Structure formats: structure tokens, C-alpha cells
Structure 1
Amino acid sequence: MTQTSAPAVPRTAIVSALVLVVGGLAVIFDSTIMSIALKTLATELDVSISTIQWVTTAYLLALGVAIPVVGWAQARFGGKRVWMFALTVFLVASIACSLAWDAPSLIAFRVLQGLGGGLMMPLMATLAIQQVPTGAGLGRLMAMVSLPAALGPILGPTIGGLILNYLDWRWIFWVNVPFCLIGLALAWRFLPRDEPRGKPVLDWVGLVLVSPALVGILYGLSNAGGDGGFSRTDVWAPLVAGVALLIAFMITQLRHPQSALVDVALLRTRSVASASAVLFLSGASLYGAMLLLPLFFQLVHGMDALGAALLLIPQGIGALLSRTLAGRLTDSIGARTVAIGGFAVMGLATVPFALADGGTSQWLLMAVLLVRGFGMGAVMIPVMSVAFVGLDRDAVPHASIITRLAQQLGGAFGTAILAVVLEAVTADATSIAAVADGFDIAFWVAVGFTVVAIGVCAALPARQPLTAPA
């Protein structure tokens, strides 16, 4: 018999999701706080912006290196052990960052943080989803698991702005410590213990190929925002090398599926392939806007870092408000309809920024951000949910790695494209009005990302089954 209403989420899955959320908040807060701290760090450590930018770039590269090994690590050591290990690494690295004595030491400790965070983010979704073997209530479960992503934009920049205004910069890393300690205690007490599945051999050939591939792609994209854009050697050379290595990696994984580091054959599955494509575009739209919006308020409206962060709060609130509804609708009417609706709302709510200038009411823009955030929340949950529909338990870690990498690469791509566009159209700007015109063009490109994403959403499964066969 087919159910006509969304099934309930198992209690064990709810408990696991909440435990994982506490630890996940440390990673999300760290990322969102750092987005507004670079200028202060450059001043305090007496280095250039180009040097201190490596605090973010090194973290991003370490993240890319760590993500592909999550599937092997979970099979070899068990998900609970790996989660607690990664959270401990992130805790130690956070304390070390707060004690850094110069820029190179801070960058080195950020690499350690990135390794911990890279293990945690795909594992967070995997451990929660594996608690619902029937797929019951998957949409609402993902609404809980992705809660840190909604709270981060609300609280992270605000907390960071307050710390940088009133306290020493070292306190931005101590914010992570209570979340890590509480997260470790809750994980030890409440996360179900999953035993290792034998002693799988690490695919060293795959790791040697995919790690430099991701580093090359992410590094190249991170450099694209400078003068010259994609024509610079330090952009196109690592990009070409990274893509070539990534193709070689995928070939080796398909030839040896039994020992594959990442089961890329899952991309033949419609749900995984379509969700990965949509997550790539959603990452481009989400992270690209995270670049544009604070700069818009600071350069066009003359706000300081804290003021810009406060103006962005409505977007986070909107994302938070849509979560429960998006989760229930995903379970009842399917991911495709919800995702298309979410992207449509995001696109329409970005248009006012493409028409705005220095005289546009900030209250109007904050109201628009509330609506845009509502669309963001409605997009992420169905797309993250549908990627795991119908997969075996052992395939879930690999699907989580693929989708996480797709979103990460999409974010780097979107940020690079919008940075290049913004640099090109504002390079010769001599007035606030000219700068505002440049932002208008960049926001239209962001709208274009959402339009393309709506088209790709048509490939998502129309409606996922609410219950699995007995």
C-alpha cells in the first residue's frame, strides 16, 4: 500500500542528526566568520591581503584533499570514530590558530583545520542518512542536518563582526571550541556505533590523482579574481592540470570499481548525477552571492564589516524559516517541484540587486534578502535529499562525497566567475554610481546561474517513493 502523507522520521535518526548538527556548527561558523576577518588579520599580522588570503585558500585546498578519503575511512574505522577524530582535529587546530604567532603559522594551522572540516562535512550527511534505511522522512531529516548551513549566515558574520570590533582577533577561533567539546561529548554518548567493514585497502593511485586534481582546480579558481582573470598563468595552468588529473582519476575508478576511492559509477544513477549538477549550480549561486552581497553593502552603501553583516541577517532568517516546509514538501510532492520553486524565488529575489544603486532603500533590500533566503532554504533540502534515494547503505558515503565535491567546486567556480566579472566592470570605475553599475552586471550573472539551475532541475526525479519495499 502507498502512503499518501509523508512518513515520520525515526527517533534514532533525529537524535543522530541533532548530535551531528552541534559539531557541524563549528565548521560553518568558522567559515562564515573568516569571510569578514581577512582585512583585520592582514593589519594585525602586518602582511598584505594577497598573503593573508591564503588563510582561506589553504583551508579550501585542505578541504578538497580530505573529502575523497571519507568513504574509505568510514569503512576502515567506522563512522562514529572518524567523526570524533575529525572533530578533535578541528578542535586542536582551532586552538592552534588562536595561538598563531605570524601569518605562516596561522596558514599552517588552517590547513589542519581544513583536513578536519573536510572529513566532517560529507560524513555528517552520511551518518544521518544511514539511520533511515527505508528512506522515510528523508526530506525532513536533511532539513535538520543542513541546519548549520542556515544558521551560519545569520550568526557567523554577526559574531565575527562583534569580536573584531570589541575583542582580539584570536577570539574568532575560540568560538569553535565549545561546539567541538559539546559535540564530542554528545557524539560519544548518543551516536550509534557502526563497526568497520573489514580492512579495505586505501586506493593510493586514486588518492595521488584526485588530491592534486582538486588542489589544482580550486587553486586556479581562487586566483581568477585578480587582474587578468582566467588569462593568468596561475589560473589556467593549474585548472588544465587539475581537470586532466580528474579525468585520469575517474578512468581509474571506473576500471577498478571494487577498490575505488570514490565510486564515480554512481554518476550513472539519475538521482546522483542530477543532484550533483544542481548542487554545482546552487554552490555557484550561493557562494557567488556571499562574495557580492557584503561587498555591495560596503562599497556601494558605505557600510563597515559589522554593518554589512547585520544587513545580511534577513537572508539567513529566510533560509531558516523555509526549512520545515521544504522538508515536508520534499517528502510529499518530490524534490523536483520544490527545487524549481526555490531557484525561481532565488532568481526573482536577486533581480532587485541587479537594479539597485547607492540610493536604494536598505529596508527594501533587507526584505528582498528575506525572500531570497527563503528560496535558498527551499533549494538545498530537496536536492541534498534526492541524491540518496534508492541507494544501498554502502553507496551512501560515496554519494555524499560526490555531491559535496560538486557543491564545493560549484562554489569555487561561481565565486571565480563573479569575481572576474566584478573586476572587469569596476576596474575603471571612478564614482560610486559606476561601481554600482558594475555590481548590477555581476548580479545579473548570478541571476543567470539560477535560470540555468531551473533547467537542470528538470532532470531530478519527479517524485521519490515515500516508503521502500518491505
Structure 2
Amino acid sequence: MTTPSTEPVSSRRLNLLSVVLVLGAITSLLDTTIVNIALDHLHASFHASVAQTQWISTGYLLAYVSVIPVSGWVSERFGARNAWMFAIATFLVGSLLCGLSGSLPLLVAFRVLQGIGAGMILPVTITILTRAAGHARIGHAMMAIALPGQLAPILGPVIGGAILDSLNWHWLFFVNVPICVVALVLGPVFLAKDLGRREHRFDLAGFAMLTPGVIAIAYGVSEAAGAHGFAAIGAWLPLVLGAVLLVAFVFYALRVRTPALIDVRVFARRSFGLSSVITFVGGFSTFALMFLLPLFYQQIRGETVLHTGLLLIPQGLGTMFFLVLSRRFLANVDGRIVVGGGVLLTMIGIVPFALAGASGGEAVLLAAQFLQGIGLGAVSLPVMALAFSSLSPAETPRGSAAFSVVQRVGAPFGVAVIAVILQGRLSHAVTPALALGAFGGTFWWIFGLSAIPLLLALFIPRRRATAAVPTEERPAEVSSAA
């Protein structure tokens, strides 16, 4: 008998669900980093300009963010399993066509198709997992989501570098095909069938404001990473237009009687709102750190892409260590201590890089990355669990879309700010010593900005790090997990 998608499932079935869903999520998360490190190679292969080649990444990003706002409605209208299968199938077809592309315009077009599938995968995955886990096991569900998210920036360069060294660029996309096929085969077997609800009408007015707003902000942020930073008209103008559209959507969503495309009222809840703010400001620290470390190894220490990926492995090991530790020992620890301790460990792990020289000290840097990995896991896992523990099963689809919008806007925005700081410092660095100083100063900026999530961690509700929220914070319609 099919288990209703809105009811918690057994622990054994939850583990099987997690494995299947992670298969789908890991491909879309890895794809970004795998392809980004190959842009220089693709630039040479197509004999195109850097600006033209950059659209391989930009087209994917814009398509990715464009579908996040509608992912909640698609899950409600057609069923979460059908939405997930459609997203994986779209990503699979896009990956196959990208690998078969013979020109840059075709590759960019198929990257857009690929991005449409990828953008829907994670929000729908969150919906399925949190419903299956129930509030009592929300932390368990978040582990399955957090692990690929933390490992993708580390494994991506290793896989991409290995492919370029031994095969050709077409395999950057073909590598997704077998994983997606396995996910599509296992999906109907392990994912509960839900038919969706025809009465959920599409919010066309909300779509006309929210989706262009998110796309405009994503494009502005991508342009801000250029030579002129946020001063470039291609950066600040889309950011302003996007912000105006988002504000307009918020006012619209609060006044409309029918359900809006995403439920902005969930941000008023302490758990969800605080988690969203911490996630957004995390772009200035944790996500910015993932951006800066590969550049440090390649530009200051002269490492290859493949070797850089190998050097980043200790960070992933640190994250996995935390996930094992949290499952066994941290269930009854106050979430404020876990998140605050994670931020502090990350800050400690930044210091050796801020003080590093152009060579030497490898053991210290590797140990620092291990601490960073523990810290990143300690921040991301409880914060995601906190966000979704206050949502009922009915609220989860649009709530996951709302949280994904915060993730996809906040993280790149913070990274762009750090990129602008680094570029400003490097513009005056005419010697290797000055370039080293530019990186050191930027690492100190990340260290200082990490104080923001550290301060916000003090306001996390006093409760267990991975448990459900207190009864009074839950919506009235949420029942106890069986």
C-alpha cells in the first residue's frame, strides 16, 4: 500500500528515501562546480571570448533561480513525486544534450534546460524528505540534504579536473546521465505516490513579480563579480529592479486572499525567519570562504585545479565528521551552542589562511580546513532543521521554495561582496607579496563578517539542536509524528 506523502514513514524507509533523493540532488549541486572550473577550457575549445563563454554559467544560474518560486506550486498541483521525477528527467535530458553540443550557442541553450531541472530538484527534495521524516526526525532529513550541499564545492573541482585531464569536456555533462537514470528507476519504487490537488491555481500575478525579481537579482550579483563590481550599471540596475519587484511581491502576497506563489508569512515565525537571516548572511562568510580558498591555492600557491580539489578534501571530511558526531552525541545539545560553536570553529579555521605565506605550512592549513568543515556542518544542519521544523506538511512546498530563494540570493550576494573586496585589493597588488597580502586581508574580512551569524546564533530558540520546535511554535495543524 502506498504511504501518503504527508505522513511520516518508518526509519528504514526514510533512509532509503534519503539515498534516492540524494542521488538526484548531488548531480545538480556538483554540476555547478564541475562546469565552472572548466570555463577556461571551454573558452579555448570554442574559440570564444570570456564574456561569451561566461553565459554557460550565467544561463544555467538564471534558469535555476527562475523555477525555484514555482516549485512549491508544482509540487502541490501535480504531486511532489511527479515534480521530482520531472525535474530529474529535465536535468537528465539537458545534461545529455549539453554533452552532445557542437557549438557554444547550443551549449548555452541546453544549459538553460539543464538549469530548469536543477532549480526544481532541491526544493522538491526538501518537501518530500521533511514530510516523510515528520517533526521528530527533521534533523535526520536535513543531514541528507546538507551533506551533498557541503561536499559539492569540494568534490566538483576534483571530478572536473580528473575529467579534463583524462577525457574531454563532453564528459563534464555525460557524468550526470547514469546517476540520473538510476534515480529515475528508483524514484517510483521508493517515493510515495501523491496525485496533487487540482484546486491549487497558479498565482500568475505573483509569478510576474517574483520570478523576474529573483532573476534580476541573480543576474546583478553575477555581474557584480566583474571588474567594476557593484558600480557597473549591469550590476546595480538589475539589483535595484529586482529589489523593487521583490518588495512589490511581499506587499501583494500579504494582501491577496488566495495562496501566493510562496508564503511570505512564514518569515514572521521566529524559527523560519531567523534561519533565513542566518542563511542569507552566511553568504558573506561560509559561502565566501568556499569561493576564496580555491583562488588562494591556484593564484598564490600555483596549484592545478585537480590538486586544489584534493587539498580541499579535509573540509569535506570535517563536515562528514560533524554529521556523524551530531547523530550520536548532539541530539540533546542546545542549538545556540551548536551553531555558535560552528561559527567559532570556522573563524578559527580562517586565521591560518589570513596569516599564511606563499608556501609552507600545509599541515596547518589542512587542519584548519578540517575545522572549517566541522563549523560549516554545525551551522548549516541545525539552521535548516530549525527553518522547516515550524512548517506543517501543507506549508512545506511553498516554504521550501521560499527558503531556497533566500539560499540562491543570499549566498551569491555575499560571495560577490567578497569578490569585489578581493578585486579591489588585487588591483593595487603589483608584486606577489602584495597579492598575498590582498588575499590575507580578504580572509580577515570573512573572519569579521562571521561575527554576524555568531551574534544571530544567540537568538536561536532554547531547544535541542536537531529536534522539533517547542509545541507553542508549531502551527496548530501539525500533529505529532508517529
What range is the shorter-chain TM-score in? Answer: over 0.9
CA shift, 1:59, in A, is 1.2
Aligned to 2:326: 326
**Contact (CA 8 Å) 1:89, 1:113: kept in 2 or not?**
yes
Check 1:447–1:199 CA distance in 2 against 1; reply closer, same or farther (3 A cut): same
**Contact (CA 8 Å) 1:342, 1:375: kept in 2 or not?**
yes
Give the aligned residue type for 2:118.
G
1:15-51 per-position Cα deviation (integer Å, ceiling 9, x unaligned): 2112101111111221221231111111111112222
List structure 1 segments (4+ residues) > 6 angstroms apart after TM superposition: none
**Contact (CA 8 Å) 1:326, 1:377: kept in 2 or not?**
no
The answer to whether structure 1 residue 42 and structure 2 residue 73 are counterparts is no
Query: Counterparts of 1:149-228 in structure 2 under 5 Å?
Result: 149-228=149-228
Aligned to 1:107: 108
User: Matched residues in 1 for 2:449 and 2:116: separation?
Assistant: 30
Check 1:117–1:383 CA distance in 2 against 1; reply closer, same or farther (3 A cut): same
Give the aligned residue type for 1:25.
I
Aligned to 1:13: 14
Give the aligned residue type for 1:121.
L
Query: Counterparts of 1:264-343 in structure 2 under 5 Å?
Result: 264-327=264-327, 331-343=331-343
User: Matched residues in 2 for 1:328 and 1:262: separation?
Assistant: 35
User: Matched residues in 2 for 1:328 and 1:337: separation?
Assistant: 16
User: Matched residues in 2 for 1:327 and 1:384: separation?
Assistant: 15
User: Matched residues in 1 for 2:362 and 2:242: separation?
Assistant: 42
Aligned to 1:146: 146
Aligned to 1:69: 70
Task: Out of 452-461 and 375-384, give the one that drifted further.
Answer: 452-461
What percentage of residue pairs aligned between the two structures are identical?
38
CA shift, 1:380, in A, is 1.0
CA shift, 1:257, in A, is 4.8
Aligned to 2:450: 450
Give the aligned residue type for 1:407.
Q
Give the aligned residue type for 1:229.
G
User: Matched residues in 1 for 2:83 and 2:99: separation?
Assistant: 24
Give the aligned residue type for 1:97.
C
CA shift, 1:56, in A, is 1.3
User: Matched residues in 2 for 1:116 and 1:456: separation?
Assistant: 34
Aligned to 2:92: 91
Query: Counterparts of 1:395-414 in structure 2 under 5 Å?
Result: 395-414=395-414
The answer to whether structure 1 residue 123 and structure 2 residue 159 are counterparts is no
Task: Out of 234-243 and 457-466, give the one that drifted further.
Answer: 457-466
CA shift, 1:347, in A, is 1.3
Give the aligned residue type for 2:164.
L
CA shift, 1:225, in A, is 2.0
Query: Counterparts of 1:12-31 in structure 2 under 5 Å?
Result: 12-31=13-32
1:306-329 per-position Cα deviation (integer Å, ceiling 9, x unaligned): 121111111111112211323456
Query: Counterparts of 1:309-388 in structure 2 under 5 Å?
Result: 309-327=309-327, 331-388=331-388
1:65-123 per-position Cα deviation (integer Å, ceiling 9, x unaligned): 10000111011000000000000000000011111122221111111111101110111
**Contact (CA 8 Å) 2:343, 2:454: kept in 1 or not?**
yes
User: Matched residues in 2 for 1:187 and 1:226: separation?
Assistant: 41
**Contact (CA 8 Å) 1:137, 1:331: kept in 2 or not?**
no
Check 1:198–1:459 CA distance in 2 against 1; reply closer, same or farther (3 A cut): farther
Structure-1-length-normalised TM-score: 0.94
**Contact (CA 8 Å) 1:339, 1:457: kept in 2 or not?**
yes
**Contact (CA 8 Å) 1:354, 1:443: kept in 2 or not?**
yes
**Contact (CA 8 Å) 1:138, 1:331: kept in 2 or not?**
no
User: Matched residues in 1 for 2:198 and 2:459: separation?
Assistant: 37
Aligned to 1:5: none
Unaligned runs of 5+ in 1: 1-7
Check 1:193–1:348 CA distance in 2 against 1; reply closer, same or farther (3 A cut): same
User: Matched residues in 2 for 1:348 and 1:398: separation?
Assistant: 37
Check 1:323–1:14 CA distance in 2 against 1; reply closer, same or farther (3 A cut): same
